Homo-oligomer: A and B are copies of this chain.
């Protein structure tokens, strides 16, 4: 089959790889109908994460079940499924409390499974899904074509934005600040709006992203960064600060901003992978500002968010502003790398 392989920084190609089959009776084989490129895929693409050998890539996909192992109970061939960005059994001690990203049997797409057998990446024609009952969430019938981007967004970015809002404890009537205008930050805006936030401040300098943020429910835009951003939020909130803050970048500057704009007693829900973040420990203590979040258990939120997408209540697929056939996956990466696209969708 054809799958996306990263050979070296900036050298990404659609290549022939071995067809996947079922290895364990809990596996399912999925024919991918749509996949996408993640901001985190850009790290090895840019060479920030080392690429020592050619590797299959991609961890966000939807598709149709082709075949299931003998122990798979909840799925059957023909089912349309959404895959979260990690696979998990959904039954272990951590999964049961909603922390599927810490599943004792789980793992990442594009890496070896417990038997040392490679699991496919998401940006290809087919994927062997381990622990299929626990991992894949079905809509049963194949959804309308225009719902597919929104379902695909549940693989990662919408579940991650939702996790930021859950972790920050967003409540009805809150004033929420979202730091970061990437696809995750935009989904954070949508999540906060869906949870009833009254005022949602997005920090964004890009007109196209501001537009999506407004469509998702942002009420205010702050274009400045650093101290200027903190001053702007202080002014917007009459000196009080935000009831909840979503940190969706992961740099030290964005975390400092997120903590500084939080009101006393507020929580920063963070999902940006932290890079050299140095917490202002004494300030957090003095003002009772907490941090919560991490690798988002997208699987926990998938059934609820699937229903909301199918009901037309949320449309996170708006974050996709580029769609190309899988054969042009290199352009999907280049457009995101060069910031010509917020998020790229590829169709096999």
Binding site for B on A (CB under 8 A): 93-94, 97-99, 101-102, 167, 240, 263-265, 267, 270, 273-274, 277, 279, 281-282, 284-295, 297
> Is the beta-carbon distance between A287 and B294 smaller than 8 angstroms?
yes
> Is the beta-carbon distance between B288 and A293 smaller than 8 angstroms?
yes
What are the residues of chain B within 8 A of A93 when measuring CB–CB?
Answer: 240
> Is the beta-carbon distance between A265 and B99 smaller than 8 angstroms?
yes
Give the complex CA separation of A286 and B264 in angstroms: 26
What are the residues of chain B within 8 A of A277 when measuring CB–CB?
Answer: 281
The residue on B at minimum CB distance from A238 is B93
For A286, give its contact among B167, B282, B286, B294 (CB under 8 Å): B294
> Is the beta-carbon distance between B292 and A94 smaller than 8 angstroms?
no
What are the residues of chain B within 8 A of A284 when measuring CB–CB?
Answer: 291, 294
Give the complex CA separation of A274 and B289 in angstroms: 13
> Is the beta-carbon distance between A274 and B265 smaller than 8 angstroms?
no
> Is the beta-carbon distance between A102 and B281 smaller than 8 angstroms?
no
Give the complex CA separation of A267 and B167 in angstroms: 11
What are the residues of chain B within 8 A of A287 when measuring CB–CB?
Answer: 102, 294
Least CB distance from A243 to B in Å reads 8
For A295, give its contact among B263, B273, B274, B286 (CB under 8 Å): B286
Give the complex CA separation of A98 and B291 in angstroms: 18
> Is the beta-carbon distance between B294 and A292 smaller than 8 angstroms?
no
> Is the beta-carbon distance between A274 and B285 smaller than 8 angstroms?
yes
For A99, give its contact among B264, B281, B294 (CB under 8 Å): B264
Least CB distance from A221 to B in Å reads 24
> Is the beta-carbon distance between A288 and B279 smaller than 8 angstroms?
no
Least CB distance from A287 to B in Å reads 6
The residue on B at minimum CB distance from A288 is B294
| Contact A288 to B240, CB < 8 A, known contacts A274-B282, A279-B279 | no
Which one of A97, A98, A286, A292 has the highest number of Cβ atoms from chain B below 10 Å of its Cβ? A292
What are the residues of chain B within 8 A of A279 when measuring CB–CB?
Answer: 279, 281
Give the complex CA separation of A297 and B290 in angstroms: 15
> Is the beta-carbon distance between A285 and B289 smaller than 8 angstroms?
no
> Is the beta-carbon distance between B295 and A265 smaller than 8 angstroms?
no
Least CB distance from A318 to B in Å reads 27
> Is the beta-carbon distance between A295 and B290 smaller than 8 angstroms?
no
Give the complex CA separation of A240 and B99 in angstroms: 12
